Chain A
Amino acid sequence: GQQVQQSPASLVLQEGENAELQCNFSTSLNSMQWFYQRPGGSLVSLFYNPSGTKHSGRLTSTTVIKERRSSLHISSSQTTDSGTYLCALDSGGSNAKLTFGKGTKLSVKS
């Protein structure tokens, strides 16, 4: 089955609202990365977060290993936050390989 599941699949917000994106995984975790994929397709790394909580501006990532989940919180959303948010799991082993979720498509309206 799907090793990495993201929810919701899509989300529409009014500018200024907060968003909570979830990523659940079914295998062991070596690391978790969150990416933002622009509408044009390019990927931007947001967080490398194997455990605990990390902050970057309006973004917060929390990974709880024993619960096999990671979340991305966006506060005070802006229209420029629109795009797809991907989480990717590295389950460890000698070769680094990321397994991606299907993404959450976020649309922020003014």
Chain B
Amino acid sequence: GPKVLQIPSHQIIDMGQMVTLNCDPVSNHLYFYWYKQILGQQMEFLVNFYNGKVMEKSKLFKDQFSVERPDGSYFTLKIQPTALEDSAVYFCASSSGTGETLYFGSGTRLTVL
């Protein structure tokens, strides 16, 4: 089936540093998403992105977070600066439209020390 690729699979950084998580969505998809899952907890929506803009974000999407997809390249989630509570697995997803199947990547496990 369609594949969403996430790079890197693991990232360890020191608190206060910047981190960029990369996502290569399904090629003809137009809607992109980030979800966050703290170990052992529920998957939670962070943000969705369409036509170069954030359409909706949750309260988990702090001011330190930003997303972009410059010129059809990777869809990225940047956290600057990072905090200890940002440690989690971040999942990227994409879909061809609203109300359509979301396809998820394998996640990036972020550890903030």
Interface residues of A (CB under 8 A from B): 30-31, 33, 35, 41-43, 45, 48, 50, 86, 88, 90, 92-103
Q: Which 3 residue pairs are nearest across A and B when measured between Cβ atoms?
A: A42-B106, A96-B98, A43-B104
Give the bracket for the number of chain B residues in contact with chain A. 20 to 34
Q: How far is the CA of A90 from the CA of B103 in the complex (A)?
A: 14
A45-B1 in contact given A90-B99, A95-B98, A102-B42 (Cβ < 8 Å): yes
Across the interface, which residues of A come within 8 angstroms of B35, CB to CB? 98, 100
List, sorted by A's number, 9 A–B pairs whose CB atoms are closer than 8 Å: A31-B100, A45-B101, A45-B103, A93-B98, A97-B56, A98-B33, A99-B45, A100-B43, A100-B44
The chain A residue sitting closest to B37, CB to CB, is A41
Minimum distance in angstroms from A103 CB to a CB of chain B: 8
The answer to whether B42 touches A100, judged by C-beta atoms less than 8 angstroms apart, is yes
In this complex, the member of A30, A41, A92, A96 whose beta carbon has the largest number of chain B beta carbons within 10 angstroms is A96
Which residues in B have their C-beta under 8 angstroms from that of A42?
104-107
The residue in chain A whose Cβ has the minimal distance to the Cβ of B4 is A43
Query: Given A96-B99, A97-B56, are A45 and B43 also a contact pair (CB < 8 Å)?
Result: no
> In the bound complex, how far is the Cα of B99 from the Cα of A45, in angstroms?
15
What residue of chain A has the Cβ atom nearest to residue B55's Cβ?
Answer: A95
B51 CB, nearest partner CB in chain A, Å: 12
In chain B between 6 and 61, which residues have their CB closer than 8 angstroms to a CB of chain A?
A: 31, 33, 35, 37, 42-45, 48, 50, 55-56
